[in-house]
A and B are shown apart, each in its own frame.
Chain A
Amino acid sequence: MKDKVIAVVTAGLTTPSSSRLLADQLAAAVRDELSGRGIGSRIELIEVRDHAHALTDNLLTGFPSASLREVLDTVAAADALIVVSPTFSASYSGLFKMFFDVLDDKALAGKPVLLAATGGTERHSLVLEFALRPLFAYLKALPVPTAVYAASTDWGPNAVGLRARITQAATELVAALHNETPTQADPFENPTPFEDLLNS
């Protein structure tokens, strides 16, 4: 079987960031889960911060730079996605949203997505259900039921609970991977014949 490509989009701002830490643990869990089933994987890690200027430029000019284009293509071509945002003002961060604003709005259709977020306190954890999940539902992605939130305490005293949630979410993502993701028709490959446009 072909290796599964897992794109990891993480929008932490500091280096290192807790979002990146969570992203790495999620990616490792998905990789382990796949290899447990005898499936190889390739992890494509995308730090949104590295593309912050290019994202702003894309919003202003309407097209991505060559390097951002590559990143967007990687995400569009991946078999599944892991997304991690820090929690800002009761939602995902603006930088995180910019990435999905410039991504083609059909790029994620039918794609399994593992939702994750980080924050200072677990009181923000429903950001996953009230902000991230509707966004990815709108993009017609398939978010798996378990979303993973990591607050500061999850890196210490509550690490066991976090670990369990990561494993659960990774298992769900891998299970969802067996579904065929629909491929998008390329309008340049198969243009609508003009007679059809005239008669529609």
Chain B
Amino acid sequence: MQFGVFSVGDVTEDPTTGTTVSEGERIKSMVRIAKKAEEVGLDVFAQGEHHNPPFVPSSPTTQLGFVAAQTSKIILSTSTTLITTNDPVKIAEDYAMLQHLADGRVDLMMGRGNTGPVYPWFGQDIRNGIALAVENYALLRRLWREDVVDWEGKFRTPLQGFTSTPRPLDDVPPFVWHGSIRSPEIAEQAAYYGDGFFHNNIFWPMSHTQRMIQLYRQRFEHYGHGAADQAIVGLGGQVFMRKNSQDAVREFRPYFDNAPVYGHGPSLEDFSRETPLTVGSPQEVIERTLSFREQVGDYQRQLFLIDHAGLPLKTVLEQLDILGEEVIPVLRKEFAALKPAHVPDAPTHASLKAAAERARELETIEEPTR
């Protein structure tokens, strides 16, 4: 099982001090968080892509490339890459490039983006969100898998004899997750290709998450990629921890009460009950996270949101220390003990490369009999 953190990259006033970091400080703090995540033994750092304030990460591969140069183990991912408004040709190139620089420590999570005005800035229309995700991703797959592509579709200019450069590292395209909160079509897409499906459940009741994951698992099996319980599932989580539960609640409450998305709405207690938000001791976070498995089955990736709503960098780094020292080691052990042998781990560059090599060997062995 992979554990990591994902950052939306918001610049939000710290409600306890009234101070707001600059864009530059926020960008650098995201880098610091990624490096710290590796130091404390996490497996994944993922970041969002946004093209509107108050968010800074408009150029994820620039940032992830910078992180790649300063890390050696952690997988760099996205949460999410906008498959709707980005040109799939540019995604193919940018992430193949990043793969080479990061020695394969790269995967992506595709998402549509939920803000109407962003689409026309990139020549698109949010009403075509699903159709864009379907067509653009179909092209992206071909660009990574075929050296020369002839292509024509509805949303971008046709391609004639086009080669996306550089080719993916070792001819192994990055593993792709599809993230969607509400759209069954995206669960269907992930299942069709046998890709991963990530449900960012942090703002949603688990009953809803369960439905989306169940649909993805059923359709994964339907399309012949394996049994339903072998589908590749990722979940979000949102935590804030202190040694004593009450201290965690006291410290986090002003951030919660003023947070973007849910601030000035439900109480911290109500929201903790309705969603995966867990504010308390490391033990409470361990128990809550283990309970996700009971709801959606054995899953492969758990990403935590720990750095939004104006929380100072120092606090976020402390959270990473707690995760690395007290939470993740226990979760690793517990999840591993519960996972049946036939349930796979999340694919990595190494595992995909090995699988590709095995497939090629089988082909050469079978050749003479044809």
Chain A residue with Cβ nearest B214: A188
Is B130 among interface residues, defined by CB-CB distance under 8 A?
yes
* B203 & A188 in contact (Cβ 8 Å cutoff): no
Is A197 among interface residues, defined by CB-CB distance under 8 A?
yes
Q: In the docked arrangement, what's the CA distance between A59 and B264, Å?
A: 11
Q: Which of B88-126 contact A (CB under 8 A)?
A: none
Give which listed residue, A56, A65, A187, A194, contacts B274 with CB less than 8 A.
Answer: A65
Given A57-B265, A197-B130, A63-B184 contact (CB < 8 Å): no
* B271 & A191 in contact (Cβ 8 Å cutoff): no
Is B134 among interface residues, defined by CB-CB distance under 8 A?
yes
Is A157 among interface residues, defined by CB-CB distance under 8 A?
no
Is B175 among interface residues, defined by CB-CB distance under 8 A?
no
How far is the CB of B264 from the nearest CB of chain A, in Å? Answer: 7
Q: Which of B126-172 contact A (CB under 8 A)?
A: 130-131, 134-135, 138
Q: In the docked arrangement, what's the CA distance between A56 and B187, Å?
A: 29
Q: In the docked arrangement, what's the CA distance between A60 and B260, Å?
A: 10
Is B224 among interface residues, defined by CB-CB distance under 8 A?
no
How far is the CB of A197 from the nearest CB of chain B, in Å? Answer: 5
A residues in contact with B270, CB < 8 Å: 57, 65
What is the size category of the interface that chain A forms with chain B?
10 to 19
B residues in contact with A194, CB < 8 Å: 134, 188-189, 191-192, 223
Chain B residue with Cβ nearest A197: B134
Q: Which of B167-188 contact A (CB under 8 A)?
A: 184-185, 187-188
B residues in contact with A66, CB < 8 Å: 205, 274
Q: In the docked arrangement, what's the CA distance between A63 and B274, Å?
A: 9
How far is the CB of A79 from the nearest CB of chain B, in Å? Answer: 25
Is A1 among interface residues, defined by CB-CB distance under 8 A?
no
Is B335 among interface residues, defined by CB-CB distance under 8 A?
no
Q: Which of B213-232 contact A (CB under 8 A)?
A: 214-215, 219, 223
Q: In the docked arrangement, what's the CA distance between A62 and B101, Å?
A: 39
Q: In the docked arrangement, what's the CA distance between A56 and B267, Å?
A: 12
Give which listed residue, A61, A65, A191, contacts B188 with CB less than 8 A.
Answer: A191
How far is the CB of B163 from the nearest CB of chain A, in Å? Answer: 24
Chain B 236-275, CB within 8 Å of chain A: the 1/0 string?
A: 0000000000000000000000000111111000110010
Q: In the docked arrangement, what's the CA distance between A61 and B265, Å?
A: 7
Sample 16 A-B pairs with CB under 8 A, ordered by A number. A57-B265, A60-B266, A61-B266, A61-B271, A63-B203, A63-B205, A63-B274, A65-B270, A65-B274, A66-B205, A188-B214, A191-B188, A191-B215, A193-B188, A197-B131, A197-B189
Closest 10 CB pairs of A and B: A60-B265, A194-B192, A57-B266, A187-B184, A57-B265, A191-B188, A61-B262, A197-B134, A191-B184, A194-B188
